[in-house]
Structure 1
Amino acid sequence: MAANSNQIVVEEVIFLGTGTSGQIPSVSCLSVPRPTCAACVDSVKPNSRNRRRNTSLLVRARVAPKSPRQDVRTHSNGNGTSVNGDAVHTVDPNLSAAAAKSHVRNIVIDVGKSFYEGAIRWFLDYGITDIHAVVLTHEHADAVLRLDDLRDWTMYRDDQPSLPVFLDPPTMAAVSRLFPYMVDETKATGSGLVPKIKFCVFDPTQPFNVLGVEFAPFVVPHGKNCTSLGFRFSNVTYLSDVSDLDEKAYEWIDGSDIFIVDTLKEVSHVSHFGLDEALAASERIRPAPRQVYLTGMCHLMEHHSSNKKLAKLYASGSIGMPVECAYDGLRLDVRDKSPTSLVAAERITASIRQQQLRPTVAAVKQAASKAQAEAASVATAAQPADAGRPIWADAHGRVQAALTAELQSRSAEVSTADLIAMSEKP
């Protein structure tokens, strides 16, 4: 199966923030004569993994060329498209010329109170220069309050069109109240020093496209009178603010290789998952995710001791998959390395679109079963020396082993010491 000329592959995510609205450290913890809060005391050390800003995630995707052997030089044909050999793909009008040429897409989820500080730290560390789109989960300050700072990525750039910001109707209403001058230019000062933003309001019950990356939103409770959005994109589910999940949500979450979930602290909370709830939600996912990352932690979840506890739970078989606390600056390669999972995801998506129905658990299982059989056939036919084959073909000769491993328990016997050592590697 050859890649389409404009196929977008989500390659990695970077955690720009993994903390609560209050962030870590807490000034009140550090200002007492003898501070005793382990997380806050540790957080002021250089490169501490207890330093946590508001939850925010950078999703990085790349346009996959039709073939690695194909000449990637492009030229305009004068009608809004670019030509790449005999392949033609539409140039997204939301991208600058430089970004379109680089084939990279940087999509930020949430720009809360500490977003700019996080960008200063992690954009510089990872050599990131552009933001191409923003997606918002909900209307709270820890998700939207630094929208104005997006001006730094839009001002004085003649080739930069308006930055698309994707949000649901309730969040759009809140943004209109908070930043009227960004929504209505007649309410600005006239200096022009405001971010060039194009607000893209989406239906939270339907998938939407962000520069070629499909996001599937689903509404979740965030306390008694609030809601937030979870997002499924590629093989990742991201849930930064959640207090409960129903079966409809799992229709989107099921099949995720990587599950990123809100975990405020060990005990339950009215507007966020506690640790037990986050672990229960992770165990409910079918098939089990390859990895679970906790985010949105307060200072009661000290990074190192929490990861030691989670490693022991996994080693003892108390939980069925690896779980660990994420940390600001964590960079994950999320490209699907399982041949059956990638083919299944593509087949599931095609099946859903063909039927024009939202996915059900039964539909996902049926499509996945068909995809597994096809994956075995396709991978067996692949030639190991073919460097141009898609990544799932790298499993030539090992598909049956991969299928067997998928069905086996993920609680392989690994020593607690080894797991702790792995969880704390810098």
Structure 2
Amino acid sequence: MEQLVTAPRRLVFLGSGTSTGVPVFGCECAVCTSNDPRNQRTRPSVLLSFPLGNLLIDTTPEMRLQLLREKIRKVDAIAYTHNHADHLFGLDDARLFPKYLGGPVPVYCEAETEASIRTVFHYAFVEKATTLPPGYVPKLQFERVAPGVPFQVLGQNVLPLRLEHGRFQVLGFRIGNLAYCTDVSRIPDESWPLLEGLDTLILDALRHEPHPTHFCLEQALGVVERLRPGRTFLTHLSHGFDHGPTETTLPPKVALAYDGLTLEF
């Protein structure tokens, strides 16, 4: 049986904002005009660094800029939470990844996300695209995943988690005692046991007011109270949160994520 690698692991928040990003185009609120760099939020994504390579979760429209900002020189695999634009539309820039991998990029996702990728980036899958050298179109190797069924990537066990995002079904991911749960408005009954015993929980908290497809702050804190992880970082944040003042109101061991925040787990 393949031995999984358990050496120290690192997570960096490439983006911690909502689908509009922060600042919001045309907005002149106190957060959008803030000088606090933690209020500058690109679309939501994280990169997990393991001894055997880097796993990227979602490809945001700012993916290229996020990776350059964090000096990430190689992505070895991609996993998708779902197929919405703010999590998907940077994929074209992944056309450079195979140059450093020596082959297609492994992509771990559900069937619906694969279908969206094949539609939105259709030019990467036409027959003539297969003859192009690396760097011209994304070259991908799809690996189907299912909630509750672990898969192995880069020497790690990754457990997909079923989450509900309004009327959409999406995935969260658990790696060891860390779970990444963005874009969620409800945790189904079957997923609660899979979130027990966490050291680190990363959880959606869009704004103060309730929202039909995301947890608001009160709902997210209710999840934290039920699961009682060692620490929690809230992500997918709107311009409703001014980073510094908001953090002073949060319970112990709960913090707002920000772009560039790095964790070891």
Task: Classify the TM-score, shorter chain.
Answer: over 0.9
Partners of 1:120 and 1:185 in 2: CA distance: 30
What does residue 282 of structure 1 align with?
224
2:198 corresponds to which of 256, 270, 273: 256
Partners of 2:139 and 2:8 in 1: CA distance: 26
What does residue 57 of structure 2 align with?
109
Partners of 1:237 and 1:263 in 2: CA distance: 15
Structure number with larger C-alpha Rg: 1
Query: Structure 1 residue 325 and structure 2 residue 252: aligned?
Result: no
Q: TM-score normalized by structure 2?
A: 0.93
Alpha-carbon contact 2:4-2:156 (below 8 Å) kept = no
> Would you tell me which structure has more helix in proportion to its own residues?
1
Shift, 1:208, TM fit: 1.1
Q: Secondary structure of 2:93's partner? A: helix
Q: Which deviations, in whole Å up to 9, do the C-alpha atoms of 1:311-338 show, x marking residues without a partner?
A: xxx3xxxxxx41110000001111xxxx
Q: Which amino acid aligns with 1:152?
A: L
What does residue 50 of structure 2 align with?
61
What does residue 168 of structure 1 align with?
110
Shift, 1:204, TM fit: 2.8
Alpha-carbon contact 1:53-1:115 (below 8 Å) kept = no
Q: Which amino acid aligns with 1:154?
A: P
Unaligned runs of 5+ residues in structure 1 are: 30-34, 63-103, 315-320, 335-426
Percent identity among equivalent residues?
34
Query: Structure 1 residue 20 and structure 2 residue 18: aligned?
Result: yes
Partners of 1:227 and 1:326 in 2: CA distance: 24
Residues 384-395 of structure 1: pairs in structure 2 closer than 5 A: none
What does residue 94 of structure 1 align with?
none
2:185 corresponds to which of 243, 248, 258: 243
2:240 corresponds to which of 275, 300, 303: 300
Q: RMSD value over aligned CA atoms?
A: 1.9
Query: Structure 1 residue 221 and structure 2 residue 152: aligned?
Result: no
**Which is bigger in relative contact order (C-alpha 8 A, separation at least 6)?**
2
> Runs of at least 4 residues of structure 1 off by over 6 A?
none
What does residue 143 of structure 2 align with?
200
Shift, 1:189, TM fit: 9.1
Alpha-carbon contact 1:10-1:60 (below 8 Å) kept = no
Partners of 2:195 and 2:165 in 1: CA distance: 17
Shift, 1:187, TM fit: 5.6
Partners of 1:246 and 1:27 in 2: CA distance: 34
Shift, 1:278, TM fit: 0.3
What does residue 80 of structure 2 align with?
136
Alpha-carbon contact 1:10-1:59 (below 8 Å) kept = no
Query: Structure 1 residue 120 and structure 2 residue 61: aligned?
Result: no
Q: Secondary structure of 2:33's partner? A: helix
Unaligned runs of 5+ residues in structure 2 are: none
Q: Which amino acid aligns with 1:161?
A: G
What does residue 38 of structure 1 align with?
30
Partners of 2:151 and 2:8 in 1: CA distance: 15
Shift, 1:6, TM fit: 5.4
> Would you tell me which structure has more strand in proportion to its own residues?
2
Partners of 1:190 and 1:6 in 2: CA distance: 35
What does residue 172 of structure 2 align with?
230
Partners of 1:187 and 1:304 in 2: CA distance: 52
Q: Secondary structure of 1:284's partner? A: helix
Structure-2 change in CA distance of 1:253 and 1:10 (3 Å): farther
